[in-house]
Structure 1
Amino acid sequence: MSIGNSPDGNSPEDERPFEDDREAEQLSIGRVLRQARIEAGLSVDDVSSATRVRVAIIHAIEQDDFAPCGGDVYARGHIRTVARAVHLDPVPLLARYDADHGGRPAPTPAAPLFEAERIRPERRGPNWTAAMVAAIVAVIGFVGFTVVKGSDGGDNTKTQVAEGSTPTAGKSAPPRSHTSKPADPKPDPSDSAIAAAPQDKVTVQVSATDGRSWISAKDHNGRMLFDGLLKKGDSKTFQDNTKINLILGDAGAIQLYVNGKKIEDAFQPGAVERLTYTKGDPQVG
């Protein structure tokens, strides 16, 4: 059976190249990234090794499937990271993504930040920081009472607690207790919380040292401990009986201390990292 020609003498097949030309003029984000990767002589494995983005996610992005990224925030972070790895400017690609997906994600409102702070003291695990502070306050009160009484036992007690607190009765303190203070400077509150963490728990401190970053932290039951933005210089400490699950929106801006140990992973700026830490030596889940 023959196929009839159009009135101008061209068959439908003759018109298809013009449609392909129009489609080529507007390459999708995934096709732009794939073409740049090929021109750079890189494989998907090469890009994954350079960016820490999983191979499956890179394949999905090159097919314009952003669902495996887990949301707009993560998708934008992956696009930025992959674009830099294949020597592209990520700004136009992010603008196109925002235009196709309803605009740039709105910043986290202030209310969840305060809500997260309110619910943290109510978690099921013991609050070791609060317990340590309460114990120090009780000991200082006892020391002040015994110093006023002038008892010898008060001198010994004050020497023991001078390491982690500021004495309230410095004027009447014996010289030997006063001279022992400089040997043990007052620790930073977050460092004290890590140092006091028991061996049967996991303690994670997250600090925004090189910029600001959105972070999310959950306990082993999946209950949210924090979900919000850390500004440069801010720090958060989380503790659980079994494990802490973290998501870092800009891992390159974050410094981690796990169970008192500094994590030396070279996180890339703008990279999104999902991490799990448990008891014992720090291990990325």
Structure 2
Amino acid sequence: MSIGNSPEDDRNVPADDRDSIGRVLQQGRVAAGLTVEDVSASTRVRIPIVHAIEEDDFSRCGGDVYARGHIRTLARAVGLDPAPLVDQYDAEHGGRPAPTPAAPLFEAERIRPEPRRPNWTAAMVAAIVAVVGFAGFTMFSGNDASSGSGTVAEGPAPVKNPVKPKPTKPADPKPVPSESAIAAVPKDKVTVKLTATDDKSWISAKAHDGKLLFDGLLLKGDSKTFQDDERIDLILGNAGPIELYVNGKKVAQKFESGQVERLSYTKGDPEAG
């Protein structure tokens, strides 16, 4: 299917001769002068999912309903008509599911819940607790009154030579945290801090067991800190604006804007994997 054809023209083109949905979306994005990062930022569809759809892999969409929604969103973002692409998806994936009949929904509304019967057991327990609490309060109040009846209140004895309080010395100002304070991180863990200095960047962070700690955009000026017992694996979609602190020490390595970096850090001095 060419990008400029109308839906009527698509019906006359054999299915084997049409371009795939992912290829049409990719060509439309390139023709619009957009990158995958631009499309992801404008549609809120994550970068890995945009890549997968352009490769005709819809397994990461989470189902047919979400796949159709992503196709519509990406098509509009690159200036394409989404209707032919959605029709092509339905034709290649078993068609659109039949709508749910509305009759059972209305029948469910006619069901009236049965009135609740009073819970006499709970009421009896509450009454017993109230009686016991009142009796205990009365008993303790009587003991306090009897013990205090023979006590004579006395005023404080006068002080002959009162001592004047010494003037207090103003507290020393608290020191401003320096870079050495940042380095005070747990030695038995690996700690990674990322800051987007002058531009946004897509990042992905995983623990040593493969658990996903974060996957998304880090906007300009934002910071993220990750910690694990053994190792942290990073993917930086736009590594240029990222400032890295690993285990309290700044990583001196400089990355280029638009560069994709895959890094791994463990305990101790920063070592790029």
Asked if TM exceeds 0.5, the reply is no
Whose Rg is larger? Answer: 2
**TM-score category, normalised to shorter length:** 0.3 to 0.5
Q: Which has the higher contact order (CA 8 A, sep 6+)?
A: 1
